[in-house]
Amino acid sequence: LNPIEDGFWTPKYKHIKENHVTDLTMNSKICLANFTHSLTKESFLSKSKEILIYQMNKRKNYDKIKYVNHILNLIISNFENDYKAASLFVIYITFATKGFKNYVSRHRKDCIQYLLSPSAILFIFSDVSLVNTINIWKGFNLEFHNIKTGYEILVSIGFRFSFVDEHENADRFVFSYKKYVKHCLKKFFWTEGASHDIINS
């Protein structure tokens, strides 16, 4: 099941616009430039922590902050130190789970098995749920070499697994996701004074 190639995309939405301002800015030099340096473990951890803690604070999930190091080590281990691939997962999963709102440190039988569905936010989840989701995610074999491609991948995944075109505020949700994705990708893969500084690890 490949979220990019399955042909699920359609512009026939009732509440969701096909294009937003963030889509139109993806053709800038910064977003189109291919990466030229590797994302290191130190850089990945630093930027991932910043993203996770910000979202946890924003969602008032203060009790989850103590698990950030554990969660990131779990992600690194299951992505086998592929920090570039792991960065896309961190960006998506942190938004989709509303800052790990329903995360529990010990697996329970009522935990959801994986987190790739619009209803996943309604259920508690554990490390087992995260690992199952990572294993599915790795099967997508996602490749990206610049910010624009990473953005398109995450937007496609959002349309397949997170967005529900049933409510009038659906478009606002999609727009907020796109802004978040753009911001996080720039945080991971752009440094001041260099418009292209990361390559495939």
Q: What is the DSSP letter of 50?
A: H
- Model confidence over 57-76: pLDDT tens digits? 999 999 999 999 999 999 99
Give the E-state strand segments of the chain in sequence order: none
Spatial CB neighbours of 112, under 8 Å, sequence gap ≥ 6 = 120, 123, 124, 125, 129
Give the confidence band of 16 by pLDDT, cuts at 50, 70, 90.
confident
Return the number of other C-beta atoms located less than 10 Å from residue 136's C-beta: 13
Q: Does any domain span residue 143?
A: yes
Residue 73 falls inside a structural domain: yes
- Interval 156-175 mean pLDDT: 90
User: What sign does the CA torsion over 12, 17, 21, 23 have?
Assistant: negative
Give the count of domains, the chain.
Answer: 1
The mean pLDDT of the chain is 89
Confirm whether 113 is domain-assigned: yes
Average pLDDT over residues 121-145: 96
Residue 11 lies in a domain: no
Tokens of 142: 């996602």
Helix axes 41-58, 83-96, angle to 10 degrees: 0
Is 92 within a domain?
yes
Domain residues for the domain of 74 are 21-189
Spatial neighbors of 187 by CB under 8 A, at least 6 apart, are: 47, 50, 51
Poorest-confidence range of 25-39, 90-104, 179-193? Answer: 179-193
